[in-house]
Amino acid sequence: MTEKLYYQNIWLDRCEATVCGCEQTKDGYAVLLDRTVIFPEGGGQPSDTGSINGVPVSAAFERGEEIWNCVQTPFCEGDKVEVTLDIERRRDHAQQHSGEHIISGLADKLYGAHNVGFHMAEDYTTLDLDAQLTDEQLAALERAANEVVQRDEPITYAFVHAEDLADIKLRKTAKGLQGEVRIVYIADADSCTCCGTHCKTTGEIGYIRFSSWQNYKGGIRLWFLCGMRAVENAMQTRAIVDAVAKRFSTKTEEVMASVVRQGDELSALKREMKLRTDALLTYRCAALLTAAEKIGDTKLVLHQEERLSAADLKLFTEKLTHTEKSIAVLFSNTGDALLYQIAASPGVKLSMREVCSAVNAATGGRGGGKDDFAQGSAKAQPGMQETMEQLRVYLRAAIKSL
């Protein structure tokens, strides 16, 4: 049995101990101590880290009443050793864990929302509630949780026999408990059975900050941070808002209005741009059709544009083929790629899918489509004159043969 000194003093960061056993494992060695300040993983909390006589302890685990430490160097039974704890990691874990108690307890008291999942990772913590809370309710919960922190009230414990638990009103009681059980009381915010590490008072949590939330399995998943994690997150958020404010040459409190205004301006410009593109393409369309070669009753428009988007290229082919009976084969050089779209007016017998195969072969591109419309793309190519001439000869013959 290992004496758990972290239950006597949560901030004790070193102790003398005696080695009671050492086993070789697949990753190194596991060392059993008679007493320790290193908390093993359990109750959703990751393991502490530390050292034994300066040899790093990467993790600790529980086996019955014994605590074993993972190290890379063997120790001999009976060795007198000094055990040290990574106190900053312990503080961080205790703050996240104690904060989770307060949020869970208050969510239950204020809204009847139950904690149905908790995950503490190296850089974030999530808590799942079984009710969908509004943004306003979550803001009230965050404020109430920080009020408990501000009051700096003691976190206390009671030890009872598992059989007596049924008579004690707690927010949560772990299942399958036997023997002596520890109950933690987090001020008046929470009470439950728990084996984890907690701060001594709520004030030691420092700060509880909700970083984001989303709907999850009919309830809500909440990401939150406590202590220095919350402080760092607040500083990062401020840096982002400050950078945006600088970009807009405005005060921090006016950033949102500036972003909304710029979004509205952008939407108005897009609408204006669309109208102008439409007008420009109508004009270009008339010029191209006037100059186009007529084969039988069908005009042939073979043309290349610079930096026209796929959407504008489609608008262009539609305008051409809806204005006069024609076949339009349009290319757009976007710098990185050569886009092409091929369309025919109603009544043209030639399949655009067939024409697309010829364009694919001539440009080394890939594309396909239906009888009246096809599209594709190829790598950008420097000179298109020869390719255009080759396609003109092919299309002339194809239209004539209809």
- Examine residue 367 and tell whether it contacts Zn ion (CB under 5 A): no
The two three-digit tokens of residue 106, written as one number: 């208050």
Least Å distance, CB 112 to Zn ion, is: 21
Name the segment binding Zn ion (CB under 5 A); options: 48-56, 145-153, 191-199, 211-219.
Answer: 191-199
CB of 181 to Zn ion, least distance (A): 13
CB-closest chain residue to Zn ion: 194
Report how far apart, in Å, the C-alpha atoms of 61 and of each of 17, 46, 67, 178, 228 are.
17, 10, 6, 19, 26
Q: Which is nearer to Zn ion, 50 or 196 (CB)?
A: 196
Part of the chain binding Zn ion (CB under 5 A), chosen from 62-70, 122-130, 187-195, 272-280: 187-195
Report how many residues bind Zn ion under the rule CB under 5 A.
2
Shortest separation between residue 190's beta carbon and Zn ion, angstroms = 9
Cβ nearer to Zn ion, comparing 126 with 321: 126
The b-or-e profile of 330-365 (16+ CB within 10 A means b, else e) is bbbbbeeebbbbbbbbeebebbbbebbebbbebbeb
Taking alpha carbons only, the member of 90, 79, 85, 87 closest to residue 17 is 79
Region near Zn ion per CB under 5 A, out of 114-122, 192-200, 253-261, 334-342: 192-200
Cα 165 to Cα 180: distance, rounded to the nearest angstrom: 10
Q: Is 152 helix (H, G, I), strand (E, B) or coil?
A: coil
User: What is d(CA 343, CA 288) in angstroms, rounded to the nearest whole number?
Assistant: 15
Is 99 an interacting residue with respect to Zn ion (CB under 5 A)?
A: no
Report helix, strand or coil for 348. coil
Rounded to a whole number of angstroms, the minimum distance from the CB of residue 100 to Zn ion is 8
Span near Zn ion by CB under 5 A; candidates 81-89, 127-135, 188-196, 237-245: 188-196
Query: Contact region for Zn ion (CB under 5 A) — 84-92, 190-198, 295-303, 319-327?
Result: 190-198
The minimum distance between CB 101 and Zn ion, in angstroms, equals 6
Q: How far is the CB of 89 from Zn ion (least distance, A)?
A: 17
Nearer CB in complex with Zn ion: 98/317: 98
| Contact call for residue 196 and Zn ion (CB under 5 A) | yes
Contact 83, 38 (CB under 8 A): yes
Instruction: Name the residue with tokens 């205790």.
Output: 94
Nearer CB in complex with Zn ion: 226/328: 226
DSSP per residue, 261-306: HHHHHHHHHHHHHHHHHHHHHHHHHHHHHHHSEEETTEEEEEEEEE
Instruction: Please identify, using beta-carbon distances, which residue of 28 and 44 lies nearer to Zn ion.
Output: 44
- Note whether 92 and 227 are within 8 A (CB): yes
Nearer residue to Zn ion within complex by CB, 105 or 196: 196
**Among 315, 374, 365, 312, which residue's Cα sits nearest to residue 344?**
374
- Identity of the amino acid at 301: V
CB of 5 to Zn ion, least distance (A): 18
Angle formed by the axes of helices 87-111 and 135-151, to 10°?
130
By C-beta, is 26 or 169 nearer to Zn ion? 169
Residue 13 beta carbon to Zn ion: minimum distance, rounded to whole angstroms: 20
Pick from 127, 194, 230, 395 the residue near Zn ion by CB under 5 A.
194
Interface residues with Zn ion (CB under 5 A) are 194, 196
